[in-house]
Structure 1
Amino acid sequence: MPAPVIRPARADEYDEIARVWMESWVSTGLAEASEFLLANLRARIRREIENGWSLFVADDNGAIAAMLALHLPKLYLDMLFVGPAYQGQSLGRKLLAFTRTQMPDEMYLRCVRENEKAWRWYEREGFVFEKEKVEPSNGFVMKYYRWKRPAAG
């Protein structure tokens, strides 16, 4: 079976992308699935695209396997969420490799402190912890990371 293909998201996929985002977020144990959360994520996708997101999906023969949101002018990897059915298959690593083609020299990200699986993975992938700060919009303590391309040598 061929691996999912990373490509730009289409506007007609935003609702499905929000569903995958919610299911992945819920799989962390930090939230419960609800119509309210789904509606918020749907609205956020549209708002963030207006504010500069480049939104990509991992397309598995028409099924959305994962979502990736980048804010290229800010060198910011904003969201990387793999659907639960696709977790543990190196799809996150493939999305991160794709991200490095978009921001090859440096990038930033943040993740929720309680999502230890995620931040430990980013650390293994070469991201360096910079600070912790409470996110006022949701009350979560966020861990901020930076990655820089290793110097040639």
Structure 2
Amino acid sequence: MTTDHPAEAPVPAGRLPAPLLRKAIAADATVLAAVHTDARAAGMPWLPRIHTLEQTRAWFEHVVLPHQHVTVAEADGQVLGFSAVDDGWLEQLYVTPAAQGQGVGQTLLRAALNEHPGGLHLHVFARNTRARALYERAGFVCVETSDGSTNEEHEPDCTYAYPPP
């Protein structure tokens, strides 16, 4: 999918300041959809792109933001990433390509774990080795694998749990 959203000011290259975390608001739908789309395209180029940016924005506006606990990471007024948790499941964790590898995902994951001391589960595509490594470093354990027949991308995935069962 091509990026068809207005360009935001670029995230500066180099080391970023520590991100500030805040609760997402309805007005974040557009920027969160862009982060989601851009991070998936950059980090998982093999993943089919089955939704347009506008469909993704509508999904954030009508599903994710009203029904999930969404935390936004930002620095210098720029959104760097976000996480979304629903009923003990980490449903989303995406970081802008320019901010990846700088601790933003780890910060969002740590905050999600702190807010859900009973633990979290998550699904991750099996080929997404970078995300799997992040979760494993945080203590998550793969408890199930799937052939992808139950996700809309039809991509094999793994279910992780923290704490391990």
Matched residues in 2 for 1:131 and 1:51: separation?
Answer: 29
Report 1:37-48 matches (<5 A). Answer: 37-48=52-63
Give the whole-Å Cα distance in 2 for the aligned partners of 1:121 and 1:95: 11
**Partner amino acid for 1:14?**
A
Shift of 1:32: 7.3
User: Does residue 9 of structure 1 match 2:10?
Assistant: no
Quick one: percent identity of the two aligned structures?
Answer: 25
Q: Distance in 2 between matches of 1:117 and 1:106?
A: 21
TM-score, scaled to structure 1: 0.85
Q: What is the distance in 2 between the residues matched to 1:78 and 1:85?
A: 22
Distance in 2, Cα, partners of 1:12 & 1:114 = 32
Residue 6 of structure 1 aligns to a residue in which SS? strand
Q: By how many angstroms is 1:23 displaced? A: 0.8
Which residue among 41, 45, 49 is the counterpart of 1:26? 41
5 Å-filtered alignment, 1:3-152, equals 3-28=18-43, 29-31=45-47, 36-49=51-64, 52-71=67-86, 74-133=87-146, 134=148, 135-148=150-163
Q: Tell me which protein shows more strand as a share of its residues.
A: 1
Give the paired residue count.
147
TM-score, normalization by structure 2: 0.79
Deviation at 1:118, TM superposition (A): 0.9
Greater mean deviation of Cα atoms: 120-129 or 77-86: 120-129
Deviations 1:1-33 (A, max 9, x none): 742211011211210111011111111123477
Could you tell me which runs of 5 or more consecutive residues in structure 1 were left unpaired when the two chains were aligned.
none
Q: Distance in 2 between matches of 1:111 and 1:118?
A: 7
Q: Which has the higher helix share?
A: 1
> Please, which runs of 5 or more residues in structure 2 have no aligned partner?
1-15
